[in-house]
Amino acid sequence: MNTFFEEEGILNIDELIMEQPSFQKIIEDGIVTEEELQEQSSRVIASLKAFEQSATPEQIDQVREILAEISVLVAVRDIYEKQEKK
């Protein structure tokens, strides 16, 4: 995948997730454990720390904003889905 978006202009995040070896490993048995959550958290932290070491302040600000907006999307999607189940 070499774009963030599908042909319709929709964010291609599901495909990106499915392609990640870390995701594939975590879900291979159909159960997500606390240890797997911790390992994934550690992977994210290590990646962000490595990025900070090589990025400019402007790039760090841009990625911080992207991460914040993705987090908002995840949070409001969760709220929306819970509302739909009522």
Q: Tens digits of per-residue pLDDT, 38-76?
A: 999 999 999 999 999 999 999 999 999 999 999 998 899
- CA end-to-end span of the chain, whole Å? 36
Residue 5's SS3 state is strand
Question: Is residue 1's pLDDT more than 60?
Answer: no
- Choose among 37, 5, 3, 12: nearest CA to 23: 37
Mean pLDDT value across the chain: 92
pTM (2 d.p.): 0.75
